[in-house]
Amino acid sequence: MKLVTYFVLLVYFSNSVLSEKLRYDNYTVFKIHVENSVQVKLLRDLQDTDFRFDFWTHPDHRSKFVQVMASPEDRADLQKLLTENNMNAEISMSNVQEFINKQTLKRYTRNNIGSMTWDAYYSLDDIYAWIDDVVAQYPNVATKVIGGQTYEGREIVGIKISHGEGKKNIFIEGGIHAREWISPATVCYIINELLTSQVQEIMAAAIDFEWHIFPVANPDGYVFSVESERFWRKNRRVFSEGIGVDLNRNWNSNWLVHGASTSPSSEVYAGPGPFSEIETRSMARYMREIGDQMEIFLTFHSYGQMLLLPFGNTSEPLANYDEAMNIGRRAMGALSVRYGTEYVTGNIVEVLYEATGGTDEWVKEHLHVPIVYCYELRDRFQYGFLLPPEQILPTGQETMDSVVDIIHQMRRFGILTSAGMAFKASTMLILGMVISFFV
């Protein structure tokens, strides 16, 4: 190994292990207005070659603007580039650290599942401890499951919720991108609702299906985002040229075709090959074991308020596109009822940008799951990855509303291969009450 490689590794390990948590004092987030294809290309080239700038959103001709974060040292260079190319920009955040300070982290109290509340974010250890306690409190229906392992030796911990054998399953993935904290928080809220809610439709959904739920699919990255660098996205695998693979570009579905990089320094590095990462390989094995029973796959990301369908390499209406669009649009209508939050529904290319190698694409292509969606949760470019804690609960509530409606719409469209008895029973109960009222 060359001396320069040793030096690079030393620098990375020093930054990730020995140094204090990175602060973002006076870091600036710019909202850059995109007006033509020339400007899109300019920003894409900048994203691909100059890693000083953190692109919170991807440059694309579908985008009206792109959000980019710059350090105080690099801010002038970015502004100069924008001025020289007649690009308009405004400042979304002038001091990013101020917004980070508002994202409170709470400590979970062991053996008290009610101490996890929906007004704060939690560390990986606290999320895992909560899952242990949930399983202990609901031993007849909840089981701790291990979906895979990580580069740094952690387990990818999930929970299975099942009221009996032989049921079709719903799989939920959260936190594959480390900095998207609202994703694990929302997934944990869904777990809590499935076990504790007294709402008839949620209770029926919990009973009718076997749920496999993983709040944090990228544990190493999440820990690093909490403890060291708030905006870390990838896993933590070490390369001589950089650290980390974007796990949502590493799945073996149109790998490296669009929206990914071959540079380990890039935020969207797809890895040296498809399934090169232990996290994606081991999770794929877990999914294959239950894949023939999977009716719904949901993955939660942030941000932008979008419901995305596969695929990310074409806007062609592949697979059961029309059914999925109808169900998705209706579900997003249900989501909007509670707080008026509006989502856009469409496939990845239609709504967002070209991007391949994600979990949702692989699940659709290889497991042939009827309904596959990727949620881009709140918000629409105000707080970005720094969604305030007071929005955790409303995000969870409206998202749960939409998940229940997805199930309802799938029954309505006749997509589910087995009708849940709990849903039928609750429907007949309500019908009976109505009839008795008029008799």
The domain spans of the chain are 24-101, 113-422
- pLDDT of 231-275, one tens digit each? 999 999 999 999 999 999 999 999 999 999 999 999 999 999 999
Q: Assess whether pLDDT exceeds 60 at residue 139.
A: yes
Predicted local confidence at residue 10, as pLDDT? 43
Judge contact between 178 and 166, C-beta under 8 A.
Answer: no
> Looking at the chain, how many residues does it have?
439
Assign 23 a pLDDT band (cuts: 50, 70, 90). Answer: very high
Q: What is the DSSP string of 252-294?
A: SSSTTSSS-BS-TTSTTB--SSTT-SHHHHHHHHHHHHHGGGE
Q: What is the mean pLDDT of residues 195-219?
A: 98
Number of neighbouring beta carbons within 10 Å of residue 13: 13
Which distant-in-sequence residues (6+ apart) come within 8 Å of 217 by Cβ? Answer: 147, 156, 173, 174, 175, 176, 247, 279, 283, 359
Predicted local confidence at residue 104, as pLDDT? 84
Q: What is the mean pLDDT of residues 424-436?
A: 37
CA 385 – CA 185 distance, rounded (Å): 13
345-362: burial string, b at 16+ Cβ within 10 Å, e else: bbbbbbbbbbbbbbbbbb
CA 84 – CA 105 distance, rounded (Å): 42
CA 341 – CA 394 distance, rounded (Å): 10
- pLDDT of 405-414, one tens digit each? 999 999 998 8
Q: Assess whether pLDDT exceeds 60 at residue 394.
A: yes
Q: Assess whether pLDDT exceeds 60 at residue 13.
A: no
Q: What is the mean pLDDT of residues 311-340?
A: 96
β-partners of residue 159 are: 144, 213
Assign domain 113-422 to its CATH architecture. Answer: 3-Layer(aba) Sandwich (3.40)
Number of neighbouring beta carbons within 10 Å of residue 44: 16
Assign 436 a pLDDT band (cuts: 50, 70, 90). Answer: very low
Structure tokens at 301: 């990301």
> Which amino acid belongs to residue 239?
F
Question: In degrees to the nearest 10, what's the CA dihedral of 276, 280, 50, 312?
Answer: 110
The residue that leads in pLDDT, 7 or 155, is 155
> Sign of the C-alpha dihedral, residues 166, 206, 388, 33?
positive
β-partners of residue 375 are: 300, 307
Predicted local confidence at residue 417, as pLDDT? 61
CA 349 – CA 139 distance, rounded (Å): 43
Assign domain 24-101 to its CATH architecture. Answer: 2-Layer Sandwich (3.30)
Q: What is the mean pLDDT of residues 139-163?
A: 98
Predicted local confidence at residue 425, as pLDDT? 39
CA 304 – CA 328 distance, rounded (Å): 16
> Which amino acid belongs to residue 426?
S
Residues tagged active-site? 376
Q: What is the DSSP string of 190-246?
A: HHHHHHH---HHHHHHHHHSEEEEES-S-HHHHHHHHHT-TT--S---EETTEE---
Structure tokens at 34: 């995109």
Q: Assess whether pLDDT exceeds 60 at residue 15.
A: no
3-state secondary structure (DSSP) of residue 420? coil
CA 417 to chain CA centroid, nearest Å: 27
The residue that leads in pLDDT, 419 or 375, is 375
> Which amino acid belongs to residue 213?
I
The pLDDT > 70 percentage for the chain reads: 90
Least confident of 15-29, 44-58, 425-439: 425-439
Assign 16 a pLDDT band (cuts: 50, 70, 90). Answer: very low
Predicted local confidence at residue 9, as pLDDT? 45
Predicted local confidence at residue 162, as pLDDT? 98
Q: Sort strands 65-70 and 306-309 into parallel, antiparallel or unpaired.
A: unpaired
The residue that leads in pLDDT, 285 or 16, is 285
**What mean pLDDT is reported for the chain?**
91
Q: Assess whether pLDDT exceeds 80 at residue 5.
A: no
β-partners of residue 155 are: 149
Instruction: Tell which residue, 151, 174, 124, has the closest CA to residue 281.
Output: 151
Structure tokens at 20: 């204090």
Q: What is the mean pLDDT of residues 101-120?
A: 95
CA 103 – CA 130 distance, rounded (Å): 20
Q: What is the mean pLDDT of residues 299-328?
A: 96
Which distant-in-sequence residues (6+ apart) come within 8 Å of 395 by Cβ? Answer: 182, 185, 186, 377, 378, 387
